[in-house]
């Protein structure tokens, strides 16, 4: 196994050296003016990435914590919700809604497809008592991009709020929270924000906060009212992941120095390069509605998809993502955001090509 291992998974992603360095510095106490100054800077700079004037709340936990918080803080058992579902993470929205006893309406599409905004328009007309719509910007399991702008247009005409999982998409795909009228946006630290796993983030519109006043779902650690109160003093209600916040300060500086518009364009170029490189070695793409965060590629016939990914990881120095859910062993995925470069994409292309040839030489997969 080679020592170097380049992460090309859609989370966790490679962490810039500047962020690694600051995490190795001596720690200080978090209930201090020093921390509040740090947290103020981070919280304000996050707004630039979320494209919002609303406060962004930082939670110590994975992105799923922010997803759960966006359910329990704004809804009550029995409320009607619509979930737009076309992959593993859309399915997570449905699982959360069921766990908290919501009246669930599912708009489904097969893996690799999207649910058009027009379908949401009809569903909202058929279900005028809908309290919330849950959707995904980039479905990480398949690499497809949903029309969040179109969905926001539909929800803005109704009392329902639009909640978007942008955990893998934020910072790679365009998302205009305020301009489009998205009510809640959640994300995680280990994607385009370029730091290790452990922080989750949630931004909330005033329309959504009104629902919070009547929400009856039980919550404690995920009670956003407590976070709102603490943020007024640039603090958190519970112990923050201090070293991750320090790292985030560095990566947000990088992001805002380059500019989010420029980053979106760079991710689009890398996405196109990835797809053209995969086609150049005879592989086919899994979908057409592509995100600029991650590309899913079909495993060629006669090749063990799990073996392909594990061999490249354990022997070739690149970590790719395999398929999830129904696509396990059938596709593999390459991310192209954060500090991923053209050299990384062209390098892994050659490795994928040679590994497929090696596996084919050993004989086809036995069914």
Q: Decide if 187 is inside a domain.
A: yes
What's the mean pLDDT in 105-115? 97
Does 52 score more than 90 pLDDT? yes
* Residue that terminates a domain, selected from 257, 287, 321: 257
Q: Decide if 1 is inside a domain.
A: no
What's the mean pLDDT in 271-291? 97
Note whether 230 and 277 are same-domain residues. Answer: no
* Residue that terminates a domain, selected from 234, 257, 280: 257
Cβ contacts of 253 within 8 Å, gap of 6 or more: 45
Angle at 221 between CA 215 and CA 222, to 5 degrees: 45
> What CATH number does residue 300 fall under?
3.90.1150.10
Note whether 121 and 137 are same-domain residues. Answer: yes
Note whether 42 and 129 are same-domain residues. Answer: yes
Note whether 177 and 322 are same-domain residues. Answer: no
Note whether 135 and 195 are same-domain residues. Answer: yes
Q: Decide if 95 is inside a domain.
A: yes
DSSP state of 144: E
- For the stretch 123-179, pLDDT in tens is 999 999 999 999 999 999 999 999 999 999 999 999 999 999 999 999 999 999 999
How confident is residue 325, by pLDDT bands cut at 50, 70 and 90? confident
- For the stretch 192-215, pLDDT in tens is 999 999 999 999 999 999 999 999
Note whether 32 and 156 are same-domain residues. Answer: yes
Q: Decide if 208 is inside a domain.
A: yes
What's the mean pLDDT in 271-290? 97
The mean of the pLDDT values for the chain is 96
> What CATH number does residue 203 fall under?
3.40.640.10
Closest by CA position to 234, among listed 42, 49, 27, 22: 42
Does 268 score more than 60 pLDDT? yes
CA distance linking residue 152 with residue 148, whole number of Å: 6
Q: Decide if 47 is inside a domain.
A: yes
Note whether 125 and 66 are same-domain residues. Answer: yes
Note whether 183 and 237 are same-domain residues. Answer: yes
Q: Name the domain count of the chain.
A: 2
Q: Decide if 367 is inside a domain.
A: no
Binding-site residue ranges: 333
Binding-site residue ranges for substrate: 333
How confident is residue 3, by pLDDT bands cut at 50, 70 and 90? low
pLDDT above 70: percentage of residues in the chain: 98
Cβ contacts of 101 within 8 Å, gap of 6 or more: 77, 78
Q: Decide if 64 is inside a domain.
A: yes
Note whether 278 and 241 are same-domain residues. Answer: no
Does 101 score more than 70 pLDDT? yes
Name beta bridge partners: 298.
331
How confident is residue 362, by pLDDT bands cut at 50, 70 and 90? confident
What's the mean pLDDT in 210-234? 98
Note whether 57 and 132 are same-domain residues. Answer: yes
Helix (H), strand (E) at residue 200 = strand 199-204
Cβ contacts of 265 within 8 Å, gap of 6 or more: none
- Please tell me the number of Cα atoms within 13 Å of 43 on its side-chain side: 23
CA distance linking residue 52 with residue 47, whole number of Å: 5
How confident is residue 4, by pLDDT bands cut at 50, 70 and 90? low
Note whether 293 and 324 are same-domain residues. Answer: yes
pTM: 0.96
Does 65 score more than 80 pLDDT? yes
Q: Decide if 366 is inside a domain.
A: no
pLDDT of residue 326: 79
pLDDT of residue 363: 73
Does 1 score more than 50 pLDDT? no
Kindly report which listed range (219-223, 229-233, 272-276, 324-328) carries the lowest average pLDDT score. Answer: 324-328
* Residue that terminates a domain, selected from 257, 289, 312: 257
Note whether 172 and 302 are same-domain residues. Answer: no
Which residue bears the tokens 């579902």? Answer: 85
Domain that holds residue 108: 17-257
pLDDT of residue 156: 97
Closest by CA position to 274, among listed 362, 214, 340, 186: 340
């Amino acid at each position: 196994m080679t020592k170097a291992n380049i992460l090309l998974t859609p989370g966790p992603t490679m962490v810039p050296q500047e962020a690694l360095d600051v995490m190795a510095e001596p720690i200080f106490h978090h209930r201090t003016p020093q921390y509040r100054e740090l947290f103020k800077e981070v919280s304000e700079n996050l707004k630039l990435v979320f494209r919002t004037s609303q406060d962004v709340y930082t939670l110590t936990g994975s992105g799923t914590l922010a997803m759960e918080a966006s359910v329990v803080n704004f809804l009550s058992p029995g409320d009607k919700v619509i979930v737009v579902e076309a992959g593993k993470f859309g399915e997570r929205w449905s699982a959360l809604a069921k766990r908290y006893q919501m009246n669930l309406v599912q708009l489904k599409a097969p893996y690799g497809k999207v649910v058009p905004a027009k379908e949401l328009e009809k569903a909202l007309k058929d279900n005028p008592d809908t309290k919330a719509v849950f959707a995904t910007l980039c479905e990480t399991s398949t690499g497809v991009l949903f029309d969040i702008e179109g969905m926001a247009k539909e929800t803005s005409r109704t009392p329902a709020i639009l909640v978007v999982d942008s955990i893998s998409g934020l910072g790679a795909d365009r998302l205009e929270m305020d301009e489009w009228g998205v009510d809640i946006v959640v994300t995680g630290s280990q994607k385009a924000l370029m730091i290790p796993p452990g922080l989750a983030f949630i931004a909330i519109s005033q329309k959504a906060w009104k629902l919070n006043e009547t929400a009856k779902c039980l919550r404690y650690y995920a009670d956003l009212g407590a976070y709102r109160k603490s943020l007024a003093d640039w603090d958190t209600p519970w112990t923050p992941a201090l070293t991750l916040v320090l790292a985030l300060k560095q990566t947000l500086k990088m992001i805002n120095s380059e500019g989010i518009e420029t980053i979106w364009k760079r991710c689009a170029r890398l996405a196109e390069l990835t797809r053209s490189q995969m086609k150049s070695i005879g592989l086919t793409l899994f979908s057409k509605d592509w995100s600029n965060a991650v590309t899913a590629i079909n495993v060629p016939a006669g090749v063990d998809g799990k073996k392909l990914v594990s061999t490249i990881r354990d022997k070739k120095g690149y970590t790719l993502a395999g398929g999830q859910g129904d696509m396990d062993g059938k596709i593999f995925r390459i991310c192209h955001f954060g500090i991923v470069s053209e050299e990384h994409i062209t390098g892994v292309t050659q490795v994928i090509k040679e590994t497929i040839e090696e596996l084919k030489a050993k004989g086809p997969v036995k069914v």
